[in-house]
Chain A
Amino acid sequence: MKQLFLERSNPRNQAVVLFILSLLLFVIDGKGSALDPVRQGTGLILEPILWLSAAPAQLVAGTSDFFESRDRQEATLRELTHQVRVLQASQLKMSALEAENARLRSLLGSAGRMSESVLIAEIKGLSPDPSAHHITLDKGREDGVFVGQPVIDAVGLVGQVIEISSKLSKVLLVTDQNHAVPVLAVRTAAQLIAEGRGQRDLLSLRHVSASLDLKVGDLLVTSGLGQRFPSGYPVGLIQSYDLLPGAAFAQVLVEPSSRLQTLDHVLLVFDERVPTEGVEAERIAADG
């Protein structure tokens, strides 16, 4: 390689060689995962640049917080106190129901549900590349985050962790074109796969056969197949269902449950089966 460029070679030939080399790299990295270790290995070097680039977004968020009026903050506080009371009350019932659920499950002889705990993470910013739906979180390897970890918000599935450094992590959103998640239609228990389309507010279902019973408004939750996402988290509602005459599969569009456009905090889900060493104190038990 070095030999090629040592003597002053014709810049045009050089350009052609490098162009072809770039194309080759692009095909290898774009189609497969052979170069992923390179990316993982360089995560640490990139950290200072990542922090630097997140600073302006944080500044904007910080100043808008600062100038928020006292009245509004008081209103928010009142609302939150109210919510906490309501949630505490429902939590009381929750533990009773949970016990009952466990008892019934043991009667049925099926395996108990796994309990999961979560870690709250703040969003540092959105990806600068519009064709890739990524967000950067302020939690990393030091907090026990791992690659492949499911990410949710208060209302539904957000995505999964794809890259981590010691203090930051990058999340692939469900709407990214490279993302797919196994789902279950709650009404009919149909198993499907929801894929991202590269649009911030839409998912589509793959291979929906014409005979499958699906309606607009059906709720889809994670099915837990594939072992990546725990089962039962809402993914989205069916927004449209189109079946062209003669087509084998229906065109089904899904509106994601989580508010992907206006996220500011998300939850990283820890499956209790895989104990990770991290700061346990910061974790809040989600159920049990």
Chain B
Amino acid sequence: MAEPLLRGPLIIGFTLLIAMALALVLLPAGSPEALNFLRPDWVGLTLIYWAIAVPERFGVLTAFFLGLVTDLVLGTAFGYHSLGYVILAALSASTYQQVRMLEIWQQATLVIVSLFIVALIQYAALTVILERQLSLSMFLKPLSSGLMWPWVFLLLRLCRRRYL
């Protein structure tokens, strides 16, 4: 794990880029809006994985800048995603030793809970600061993300073992 230092950060960046492209995939014109809420937070999931697997390389500062880039790509107000990702990274940084020991489905539950907390904070920020009315269906996103966690986890673990 110590030798190929150059490949390490690259694979992290690459997986994040893929996640971002997935998050941005536009729906075909005319598809129902409800589909949007069921889309997992791909970038968030990837972030959680790396923050737990290699906490020494993936801290809150990285999460912050990742959030800013996500805001830029998705067209949300600057700070919206970085807010959430800083929280996710901080949660992961303080619990990674315990989380690594858990079963995948237990991790998935934790992922749902932490993404739900983030959604609550983002919801509060949007409604209080920007005074937007939002439908509560945005809280479906943590659920769909949690269901995707096992697959994301296994795939990224494969990446880490091979390239990191």
Residues of A within 8 A of B (CB): 5, 11-12, 14-15, 18-19, 21-31, 35, 38-39, 42, 46, 49-50, 52-54, 56-57, 60-61, 123-132, 134-136, 163, 170, 177, 197-198, 200, 261-264
Contacts and interface: CB of A to CB of B under 8 A. Distances in A.
A132 B76 contact: yes
Given A11-B93, A18-B64, A49-B20, A29 B28 contact: no
Nearest to B87: A19
B60 interface: yes
Contacts of B24: 49-50, 52-53, 128
B52 interface: no
**Across the A-B interface, the 9 shortest Cβ-Cβ residue pairs:** A125-B26, A26-B79, A25-B79, A15-B90, A53-B24, A29-B78, A22-B83, A30-B77, A130-B36
B86 A125 contact: no
A12 B86 CA distance: 10
A201 B155 CA distance: 40
A198 B74 CA distance: 17
B61 interface: yes
B156 to A, nearest CB: 20
5 contacts: A15-B86, A18-B82, A49-B21, A131-B132, A262-B29
Nearest to B59: A11
B60 A124 contact: no
Contact of A53 (B25, B36, B80, B82): B25
A286 B101 CA distance: 67
**Category for how many chain B residues contact A:** 35 or more
B27 interface: yes
Contacts of A53: 21, 24-26
Given A25-B68, A54-B26, A128-B74, 16 more contacts: A11-B93, A11-B94, A12-B90, A14-B59, A15-B90, A22-B64, A30-B77, A30-B129, A52-B21, A56-B25, A125-B28, A126-B31, A127-B75, A128-B39, A130-B36, A130-B37
Contacts of A42: 72
Given A25-B78, A127-B75, A30 B130 contact: yes
A23 B79 contact: yes
A123 B86 CA distance: 35
Interface of B: 20-21, 23-31, 33, 36-37, 39, 59-61, 63-64, 67-68, 72-80, 82-83, 86-87, 89-90, 93-94, 125-126, 129-130, 132-135, 137-138
A20 B1 CA distance: 35
Contact of B129 (A26, A35, A61): A26
A49 B20 CA distance: 9
Contacts of B25: 53, 56-57, 128
Contacts of A19: 83, 86-87, 90
Contacts of A124: 26
Contacts of B26: 53-54, 56-57, 124-128, 136
A23 B83 contact: yes
A243 B79 CA distance: 40
Contacts of B129: 26-27, 30-31
A86 to B, nearest CB: 26
Contacts of A136: 26
A125 B29 contact: yes
B88 to A, nearest CB: 10
A126 B29 contact: yes
B83 A129 contact: no
A261 B59 CA distance: 41
A12 B94 contact: yes
Given A18-B86, A22-B83, A261-B30, A128 B23 contact: yes
